[in-house]
Structure 1
């Protein structure tokens, strides 16, 4: 119970505070959009820039850690896409968006603060390693399959499809922040103390602002319809993905304790708002993905507690 109160509850209280203020009309839609734009386009990219720039790349990029997480993520994606297509008879574009919701864990806004509160700031190296390729890799996969699904039969060349994917992926602020962090890390370019002080100030604002804004965003969603499809997304995100990461990490790759914690806890997070944003971008499966984000985020309070009990 102490894990629930000390580790998980503070994170969800900030989300709940944003939700309550939005519900009371004290945090209107334009304010929510402004806070989320600040967090996702500026503060969080700065946080990722700082983390990647200062990361020990050789120590952080453990093969077992990365494969445990991403094999689980890709399996969940296939499970969601095929389930939506074959079981629920959704159109192919809807199925890709639903699969993306099963794929894209909220590794940043939930995974980082919960891991830090559970195990301390020194336990985040594995999280940052996962996050450093999370958005570029998964967005590239989702966009590629969605563009293929949309253009099937339209004769779009591979070159044109590749340009669409590259443009959509590389224009993401999170990807830009990660790329700049890698550039500074690899070049070893010294930066003045004033620069790092400003970066630290911005980075400290990222997670609280994003969590509060996430509460406002979740208020917009209303649980309605497609219950079986939403249940499938919740199962894939909260049980299947972390379950695969745990089995691979303990039985196949023999991950150390830190890597096992990072891979399983990051995998155990509910779908992020990106799952809805991806569906909204293409105008497909918006209601399903929006409701799944809300329901899975609420359910994750319990499932994260279970995974924390299982982990060493």
Structure 2
């Protein structure tokens, strides 16, 4: 019970506060939009750039947690897409969007604050190592699959699909922030000097606002996502996100790779998060399965209060 109160509840209280003030009309929809634009397009990318710039790359990129997390994510994408296409009889683009929602965990806005509250700031190196590939890799998988499905029968070649995917990935603010972080790492490695103090101090100031602003704004965003219809698809995405993905990550990290405790925690908790808002943004970008993605974000985020508690109890 103490884990629920001390670790999980504060994070969801911030989300709930954002939901409440938006519901009561004290924080308008344009204000929520502006706050989330600030958080997702600027503050969170700066947080990622700063965190990656400070990572000890040789120590943080342990293949065990990385492979465990991403194997689970790809499995959920495959299961979600195939089940949506074969079992639920959805169209190809719908199936890809549903699989993307099952794969894209909210590793940053939920995974980072919960891991930090549970195990302290020093436990986040593994999280940020996973996150540094999270958006580029998942968007690559999602965009390539979607472009391939959409171009099927039109004669568009792989080069066209690849170009569309590359353009879409490089325009993503989170990916830009990640690339900037690696650029700062390269600057330090080539010059032998640390990132200039004033620049890092400015990045620290913006980064400190990122998670509180994003969590508060997420509450306002969730107000829009009314769970309507598509119950089987939403239940499937929720189960894959909250149970199957972390279950695969735990099994591989613990029993196959014998990952140290810190890496095990990062892999499992990052995998255990509900689908992120990017799942809806991806579906909205292609105009397909928006209701499933939006409702899955809302319902899985609410249910994750209990599922994260269970995973915290399981983890050493």
| TM norm. shorter chain > 0.5 | yes
Aligned-pair CA distance for 1:192 = 2.5
Cross-structure match for 2:242: 238
- Match of 2:180? 180
Paired position in structure 2 for 1:216:
220
**Uncovered stretches (5+) of structure 1, i.e. residues with no partner:** none
- After TM superposition, what 4+ stretches of structure 1 lie above 2 angstroms from structure 2? 189-192
Provide the aligned length of Structure 1 versus Structure 2: 312
Match of 2:66 in 1: 66
Matches of 1:45 and 1:269, distance apart in 2: 19
**Per-residue deviation, 1:228:** 1.1
CA positional deviation for 1:157: 2.0
Partner of 1:290: 294
Q: Secondary structure at the match of 1:220?
A: coil
Alignment map for 1:96-107 (pairs within 5 Å) = 96-107=96-107
Q: Specify the alignment match of 2:114 in structure 1.
A: 114
TM-superposed CA distance for 1:27, in Å, is 1.3
For residue 186 of structure 1, report the CA deviation from its aligned partner. 2.3
1:229 Cα deviation (Å)?
A: 1.0
Map 1:41-52 → 2, pairs under 5 A: 41-52=41-52
CA distance in 1, matches of 2:159, 2:251: 39
Q: 1:300 aligns with which of 298, 301, 304?
A: 304
SS of the aligned residue for 1:155 comes to coil
1:1-312 mapped onto 2 (5 Å cutoff): 1-188=1-188, 189=191, 190-312=194-316
Q: State the distance in 2 between where 1:281 and 1:193 align.
A: 39
1:223 Cα deviation (Å)?
Answer: 1.1
Partner-residue secondary structure (3-state), 2:12? helix
> Structure 1 length normalisation: TM-score?
0.99
**What does the per-residue CA deviation read over 1:221-262, in whole Å, with 9 as the maximum and x for residues that have no partner?**
101111111110010000000000000011100000000000
| RMSD (Å), alpha carbons | 0.7
Q: Please report how far the alpha carbon of residue 216 of structure 1 lies from its aligned counterpart in structure 2 after TM superposition.
A: 0.5
Deviates more, 1:79-88 or 1:153-162: 153-162
Quote the Cα distance in structure 2 between the aligned partners of 1:181 and 1:191.
11
CA apart distance, 1:160: 1.7
Tell which deviates more after alignment, 24-33 or 290-299. Answer: 24-33
Which whole-Å deviations, capped at 9, do the CAs of 1:288-308 have from their partners, x for residues lacking one? 110010000000000000000
Instruction: Report the secondary structure of 2:155's partner residue.
Output: coil
Aligned-pair CA distance for 1:158: 1.9
After superposition, give the CA deviation of every residue in 1:43-91 in whole Å (9 maximum; x if it has no partner).
0000000000010000000010100000000001111001111111000
Determine the C-alpha separation between the residues in 2 that align with 1:193 and 1:250. 40
- Mapped to 1, the partners of 2:196 and 2:298 lie a distance apart of 42
Tell me the distance in 2 between the aligned counterparts of 1:130 and 1:67: 9
Following the alignment from structure 1 to structure 2, what is the Cα–Cα distance between the partners of residues 221 and 160? 34
